[in-house]
Structure 1
């Protein structure tokens, strides 16, 4: 099963203003609304707990994490979700292309004949872009690449039962599957840079690598990841020179 996870979330920035000051001047279009928080009408801790609390949202120190903020103004914007859908492990995927718009794929050591693009888990508090660059380096040794585009929402796939059982033991967690943020990167280095031993910080995951056209990648990827790959290639099609009916 694959789905696109995209819904509005609220990202807050806070600035102290006098409690009785007039409304802010005309707001830029990205602001959905601006409201005043006071100890007369909003319990901040209650309303923001689902966003991680004040310490996370506003960057306040613990001693300042008071349930009420008198005379503060909060700007609220709509962005793509920072958190993956519940029950899915946070993950990033990297679609690395060369100058011929071919896609980098590698064959897994643990699943012979299964080819895939680089991917990996997102560490706690790690930015997905940083995670994508890190995973690419750890799995392929590649550091000469530039980000061209990203899929703005999470793409999810469910683990087949046998895979889920294996990974639950490995990670010590009960995940339905993975929620992935995908990035398109252009390889700008020499192929001598590619090293499946990676940067030495993690055990090797792949036995060999190739450049493939997207259509061939779709034929080689494992079944349960194929719907995600199709969405990824459709989203990046303008960069890959693909027509709408190619995949």
Structure 2
């Protein structure tokens, strides 16, 4: 089966290590994955902001570039939502019956990466090694839209050396929400402040999630507060093996213990 990796804009531009980790992990699990160079934005933020015609344009491009693949893997529940929820709305808003048919055809091929590993491959132990204290943040799109449930935690629990700690009020939104954080900065900032406080309360060294957008938001607040907690996409954790060893300290951030910087 031909498998494509849709890496997403934010990973391509800001977090290329996540895409590299996804390829490394999938190959280790026996999946040969291709990276179509013509891929572009999924169109989620366009549709969220009301630009249905622009969303339709990006949806058509998505189908053109990825439609011939048997499986389309996404390391993002947020971007995985766009084809599943928005493309049909964009097709209806623009009267594009062909896009509607193409969307129906391509939807069964789209898989969020933890969903693909656990459900399609039937793998719950990826052979990962990560000797660090980790808290998992279930992002809104993964929890409420994609409904991937316990899959990420199932994979994390099988990681060797990991100390998986509970994140207080884990299901609360971090306040990012794409353009929401721009248009409603004060509310978003307050929500993010609460989330960052919960991360500190967890005692985690690493915060992980399936969406780098949320990790960027929370990680930015943690860095601003001079908190030595690293934000790291879940796939980057699952891709690591004992040969990689432990990760180093956060560059440029002092280690904080019991509220005292050293």
TM-score, reference length from structure 1: 0.23
Greater percentage in strand? 1
Greater Rg, structure 1 or structure 2?
1
Which has the higher relative contact order, 1 or 2, with Cα contacts under 8 A spaced 6 or more apart?
1
Give TM-score, length-normalised by structure 2.
0.22
Between Structure 1 and Structure 2, the one with more helix by share is 2
